[in-house]
Amino acid sequence: MTLLNYRFNIVLVERNYGLLPGALNLHFSDLDIDERTGIVLGDVNQMGDDCVVQNLVTKIAALSLKYSSCWLIVYNDKNSGW
C-alpha cells in the first residue's frame, strides 16, 4: 500500500461495515472512486437468483442518491466451473 501512495498518490482504506448496528439495511458501493463515482461488483453466477438480482437493483437505486456515476462490474468467478 505504501507503494501505491508514494508512486501514484492512491490511498487505500478498508472498511468493515458489518460492525455497524443496522448495517444490513444500508447500501454501500464496493469501491469508492471519488465523492461522485462508485463501483458495485456482481457475480454473474449468482444472477440466476431473483433475490440476488432484486438486492442488486435496490442497492444501485439507493446508491444513485449518493453518486452521479455508479458503475456495475459483472464478473465470472473462474473457480466456479461455469
Q: Which amino acid is at 12?
A: L
In sequence order, the β-bridge partners of residue 41 are 73
With a cut of 60, say whether residue 9 has pLDDT above it. yes
Q: Percent of the chain beyond pLDDT 90?
A: 29
Residues 6+ apart with CB under 8 A from 27: 58, 59, 62, 63
Is pLDDT larger for residue 6 or for residue 32?
32
Q: What is the pLDDT of residue 78?
A: 72
- State the Cα–Cα distance between residues 67 and 39, nearest whole angstrom: 10
pTM score above 0.85? no
DSSP-derived letter for residue 82 is -
